[in-house]
Amino acid sequence: MSDILASDSTYTEDERALLTRLCDLMIPAGEGRPSAADPELFNDILSRLSTHEALLKPALAILATLALEKLAASEQVTLINQHREAYATFFQVFESQVIQAYYANSAVLTSLGVNAPSPYPGGYDVEETDWSLLDPVRGREPFYRILGSGE
Amino acid sequence: MSNEPVDVLIIGAGASGAAVAWSLADTRMRILCLEQGDWVNSANYPSAGPGYETRQDFAIRPNDRQLDVDYPIDDGESPVKVVNFNGVGGGTILYMAHFPRFHPSDFRTRTLDGVGEDWPIDYATLEPYFAENDRMMGVAGLAGDPGCPPKEIQLPPVPLGKLGERIAGGFNELGWHWWPSESAIATEPYNGRDRCLNLGPCSSGCAQGAKASTDITYWPYAIRAGVELRTRCRVREITVDKKGMATGVIYYDENGIEHEQKAAVVIVACNGVGTPRLLLNSVSTAFPDGIANGSGLVGKNLMLHAMAVVQGQFDARIDGFMGPIGCALWSKEFYETDPLRKFKRGYTMEVVRGSGPSGTALNGMMMGVLPWGSEHHAAFDQLFDKAGSICAVGEDLAEEHNTVTLDPEVVDSNGIPAVKISYTLGENSQKMIEHAGERAKEVFNAAGAIATSPTISSGVSSGHSMGTARMGTDPTRSVVNEWGRSHEVKNLFVVDSSVFVTSAGVNPTSTLQAVSLYIADSMKKRLATLFD
Ligand SMILES: Cc1cc2nc3c(=O)[nH]c(=O)nc-3n(C[C@H](O)[C@H](O)[C@H](O)COP(=O)(O)OP(=O)(O)OC[C@H]3O[C@@H](n4cnc5c(N)ncnc54)[C@H](O)[C@@H]3O)c2cc1C
């Protein structure tokens, strides 16, 4: 989770609403996993995005003119995809921060069978290896170069 | 802080600095080690907290971490990027603990294959030091590998996991060699370290303390034996007297205050990039081109390894994010020179386990295979925990134009000139990479992978920096002699992988620690005549 508080962000109400929409479009709820716009997740995302405001706000202003809310979800995604190249930096930063928040979220990790919030201290049981797998190699003569005298 | 003169001053508390400090401690000399970084608290490692995959303070590239203890490294033009860690333990804090030894042939490449140069020492000379180092670090593995000389192993091997077993099956299908990797990981409690919990991301530090980083292996013993380790002390230069002998160093403490520390013997252990940087920064009337640089070879012959990485995708989950990321199995099938191939020398294939969820998703987005919208989850599930990599670590031949030089413009937080890496992959390396990439794909196909990536050899990271102050008997062709002493400055030693003459087709740490123990022992045997 980011150390910066979402409340520190200066995104306007409208910008927050658009960011929420974009989060939900990027990763909607499904397969037992929450939407990236889920309030807890969104708060984390917003706080991460607050360090990139100067970079993101101009692109947000242009994306706001697309009036995404008037379209069906699949059409919104199509429209976003059409704008990805033109606003490559915006999408790189936005996607990277959404992913970092989403795939560090305890509910998401747990649904993936990954220890939450971190591998330690629980660790994982990796099943013991059946070393008979090595039998074909065990029969081989040493083949590293054994040096003669003077070599 | 007392700057009373000491008998031995070691610069750098990483893999080699720790080993040499421990070995020299039994001489009862006054030994001081200056380290620019801090001690690391294992509770702060990323794997002990949220967001563990993407924390930048333990990023492997110093340019990403940007901590004040790091120094900038301009590797923008190099296809291989330099990674390290600056703190007690050095690179072993972040290393993957894959712990192969150099092979006997690696010390004789000129005689055997007509490339590179022979070392002035050989495998047999280092053998007892390899064994001593293994006991100190604690090595997991399985005796009897036909691809390597026999050795004593301390601990049972790291389990292969489903991914490793699938890939091992691929090697068997092809009739190629493989063996469980030797790993500096406590698979059972060892010397006060607890057993590995298969956390996964060893390359951001081991929260469990099972991985053999030298802050928890050598250093506690060295300190108990009387060695003083002073952290947050960054050495700017080695000082000399009129006779050209080293007199000590100038360093900056945590507050940027300059100190002079006198010493009878100076040992440099700053790694293949940090060591030439310090030597080149140590300019005096006696040594206008940097100390110990009469041959002009300080910073030259940089070897970073020829790396070829191929990722394989499977159709089922393979527990790829569990277990030490860089330790599963290796193959020596293509290690030694084969006249039928288009290149000399060879490589080890090493299996690297898969990424966690964030790493998988970030990579998927970058590759354009993780869409927005309702298909996101299904696409993620196709990727997550279904991929692993084979990384071939290939022998990189020494070439003088591959260099570490001082950066004329960039300085670190103490105003000390930073470094620039100029490095290209030679023709031999390129052919080796091509060969290794194709073989890795064959292994994945034989293992039942549903897809393989193209071979990646550019933009890869290497913490293996070698050759920049190499050893030899000829002062015009080497920087230090056959036991690590500068040819010109008789009380100055280098003990890290800068002294390597060849790079071999394996990770270097086991060998560089054996070399540093050997140099320490050589010093101990000559105490009365050390400066003759
Ligand atoms: C991500 C990663 C993965 C790796 N995986 C493996 C692996 O699986 N197997 C393997 O064999 N190797 C691996 N390595 C490489 C391994 O870490 C290095 O080979 C090893 O640490 C080098 O030892 P060294 O003593 O030469 O230098 P280091 O361990 O780098 O130590 C040098 C120390 O010197 C200090 N220093 C430098 N300059 C100064 C100065 N001017 N003043 C004071 N102090 C200074 C630094 O802060 C540092 O602590 C990996 C490295 C990284 C970063």
**Alpha carbons B381 and B370: distance in angstroms, whole number:** 10
Report yes or no for ipTM above 0.85: yes
Query: What pLDDT sits at residue A148?
Result: 86
**Reported confidence tier of residue A150, pLDDT bands at 50, 70, 90:** confident
- Short-list B319, B49, B528, CA closest to A121: B49
User: Is B6-48+58-140+160-185+197-415+425-526 in CATH node 3.40.50.2300?
Assistant: no
Ligand 1: lining residues by beta carbon, under 6 Å: B 11-17, 34-37, 60, 83-87, 90-92, 94-98, 203, 234-235, 269-271, 274, 278, 326, 463-464, 496-497, 507-509, 512
Report CB contact under 8 Å: B372, A131. no
**Reported confidence tier of residue A149, pLDDT bands at 50, 70, 90:** confident
The answer to whether B102 contacts chain A (CB < 8 Å) is no
Mean pLDDT within A88-114 = 97
Query: What pLDDT sits at residue A8?
Result: 65
Q: What is the per-residue pLDDT across B45-72, written as a single tens digit (0 to 9) for each? A: 999 999 999 999 999 999 999 999 999 9
**Alpha carbons A69 and B455: distance in angstroms, whole number:** 43
Whether A1 shows a pLDDT value over 70: the answer reads no
Q: Residues 61-120, chain A: which have Cβ within 8 Å of B? A: 73-74, 77, 80-81, 95-96, 99-100, 102-104, 106, 108-109, 112-114, 117-120
Whether A6 shows a pLDDT value over 80: the answer reads no
Whether A4 shows a pLDDT value over 60: the answer reads no
Query: What pLDDT sits at residue B134?
Result: 98
Mean pLDDT within B172-179 = 98
Whether A3 shows a pLDDT value over 60: the answer reads no
Mean pLDDT within B395-418 = 97
Query: CA separation (Å) from B355 to B201, B268, B320?
Result: 8, 36, 7
Whether B423 shows a pLDDT value over 70: the answer reads yes
Q: What is the per-residue pLDDT across B254-299, written as a single tens digit (0 to 9) for each? A: 999 999 999 999 999 999 999 999 999 999 999 999 999 999 999 9
Which token pair is B301?
């012959």
Q: What is the per-residue pLDDT across B424-448, written as a single tens digit (0 to 9) for each? A: 999 999 999 999 999 999 999 999 9
Rounded to a whole number, what is the distance in Å from the CA of B117 to chain A's nearest CA? Answer: 13
Domain boundaries, chain B: 6-48+58-140+160-185+197-415+425-526
Q: Would the pTM of this model clear 0.95, i.e. be above it?
A: yes
Whether A83 shows a pLDDT value over 70: the answer reads yes
- Short-list B108, B514, B392, B138, CA closest to A144: B108
Residue pair B8/B31 in contact by the 8 Å Cβ criterion: yes
Query: What pLDDT sits at residue B148?
Result: 98
The closest-lying atom of ligand 1 relative to the alpha carbon of residue B96 is 8
Q: What is the per-residue pLDDT across B300-329, written as a single tens digit (0 to 9) for each? A: 999 999 999 999 999 999 999 999 999 999
Whether B41 shows a pLDDT value over 70: the answer reads yes
Tally of CB atoms within 10 A around B401: 11
Average pLDDT, chain A: 93
Residue whose CA is at the smallest distance from ligand 1 atom 32:
B270
Mean pLDDT within A17-28 = 97
The closest-lying atom of ligand 1 relative to the alpha carbon of residue B465 is 19
**Alpha carbons B50 and B27: distance in angstroms, whole number:** 45
Say which residue the tokens 């520190």 belong to: A8
| Residues in chain B within 8 Å Cβ distance of A125 | 198
Whether A2 shows a pLDDT value over 60: the answer reads no
**Alpha carbons B144 and B152: distance in angstroms, whole number:** 10
DSSP-assigned letters across all residues of B432-458 = HHHHHHHHHHHHHHHTT-SEEPPPB-S
Bridge partners, B268 (sequence order): B11, B494
**Reported confidence tier of residue A10, pLDDT bands at 50, 70, 90:** confident
Give Cα B40 distance to the centre of its chain.
Answer: 18
Mean pLDDT within A118-147 = 96
| Residues in chain B within 8 Å Cβ distance of A1 | 50-51
**Reported confidence tier of residue A137, pLDDT bands at 50, 70, 90:** very high
Q: Residues 137-166, chain B: which have Cβ within 8 Å of A? A: 142, 144, 146-149, 157, 159-162, 164-165
Query: CA separation (Å) from A79 to A88, B53, B318?
Result: 14, 31, 36
Query: What pLDDT sits at residue A5?
Result: 54
Mean pLDDT within A96-121 = 97
Residue whose CA is at the smallest distance from ligand 1 atom 31:
B14
| Residues in chain A within 8 Å Cβ distance of B208 | 120-121, 123
Whether B187 shows a pLDDT value over 90: the answer reads yes
Phi, then psi, of B389 in degrees rounded to 5: -130, 155
Query: What pLDDT sits at residue A46?
Result: 96
**Reported confidence tier of residue A151, pLDDT bands at 50, 70, 90:** confident
Query: What pLDDT sits at residue B1?
Result: 66
Report CB contact under 8 Å: B373, A28. yes
Q: What percent of chain B has pLDDT over 70?
A: 100
**Alpha carbons A20 and A36: distance in angstroms, whole number:** 8
Average pLDDT, chain B: 97
Query: What pLDDT sits at residue A7?
Result: 59
Mean pLDDT within A107-113 = 96
Report CB contact under 8 Å: A104, B54. yes
